[in-house]
A and B are shown apart, each in its own frame.
Chain A
Amino acid sequence: MRIANLFVALAATTLMLAGCASQKEPAEKALAQVESSLAEFRADAEKYAAEELQAVEGSIAKMKASVANKDYSAVVKAAPALNSTIASLRETVATKKADADAMMAAAEAEWTDLSAKVPQMVEAIQSRVDTLGKSRKLPKDMDKATWETVKTDFETMKTEWTDASSQFASGQAGEAVRKAREVKSRGDMILSQLGMTPS
């Protein structure tokens, strides 16, 4: 009886080991597949969905640990859900990238417009400021305080425009456009204070 039990136990262990070994190849294939899928868009995922990428990488690390522990069935079992998560992450990244690309295109178009207008504005204001600087008295519609404000604001405007241009040159189109809008707004105010209505 005891020998019979021993045979049964041995047979069960053999079957279990055989079953486990038969899962090795599918498990390794599944792991290779998820890693390959993720590698196709990992760079964009780092940029547009870093947190979600971290979660997926955590799942892959668990899969690798299971393979190392020869727990192949756990890998095979987890693979479909992880593939689904990776597919979803791919869609999320594609959507966020498309949104970012559209925003960048819009920012670049606005920059093109502002980078044409603001230097012309600066040129017109500079000309007037230079001339008023030579005047023995101010025009009747301008008091001294306004004139001092104009000079200070114009210096700020030029500095901000230089900053905005540097930001755009370094690839920060969104930030550059936000600053350029402020510069133009400041320029409009200065033109108004100088009584220079655009023709």
Chain B
Amino acid sequence: MSTDNPYAQYHVVKQGETLSKIAEEYYGDKMLYPKIFEANKDVLQDPNKIKPGQKLRIP
């Protein structure tokens, strides 16, 4: 999905969150965290390293 899509959904990372937890919140399945990682490779280098305040696209 293109980054300028106005219908794209975003999530601002909160303290203590992981990509798995975010994947579970939006998809119901924490194993789908690579989807979020792949969609945010421009801001994430490692799926285990996300920082509070980061704005992640939820595809």
Q: Chain A interface (Cβ within 8 Å of chain B)?
A: 117, 120-121, 123-125, 127-128, 131-132, 134-140, 142, 191, 195-199
Contact with B32, one of A134, A198, A199 (Cβ below 8 angstroms):
A134
Asked whether, in the complex, the Cβ of A137 is within 8 Å of the Cβ of B29, the reply is yes
Asked whether, in the complex, the Cβ of B35 is within 8 Å of the Cβ of A199, the reply is no
Contacting residues, chain A, for B29 (C-beta < 8 A): 134-137
Q: Which residues of chain B from 1 to 43 have a CB within 8 Å of any chain A CB?
A: 1-2, 5-10, 24-29, 31-32, 35
Asked whether, in the complex, the Cβ of A197 is within 8 Å of the Cβ of B9, the reply is yes
The 9 closest A-B pairs by CB, nearest first: A124-B7, A135-B29, A139-B28, A127-B59, A138-B28, A137-B28, A196-B9, A135-B27, A120-B5
Asked whether, in the complex, the Cβ of B6 is within 8 Å of the Cβ of A132, the reply is no
Question: How many B residues are at the interface, by size bracket?
Answer: 10 to 19
Contacting residues, chain B, for A128 (C-beta < 8 A): 9, 59
Asked whether, in the complex, the Cβ of B27 is within 8 Å of the Cβ of A132, the reply is yes
Some 28 contacts from A to B, beta carbons below 8 A apart, are A120-B5, A120-B7, A124-B1, A124-B5, A124-B7, A124-B8, A125-B7, A127-B1, A127-B59, A128-B59, A131-B35, A131-B59, A134-B29, A134-B32, A135-B27, A135-B28, A135-B32, A137-B29, A138-B28, A139-B26, A139-B27, A139-B28, A140-B28, A142-B28, A191-B7, A198-B6, A199-B6, A199-B8
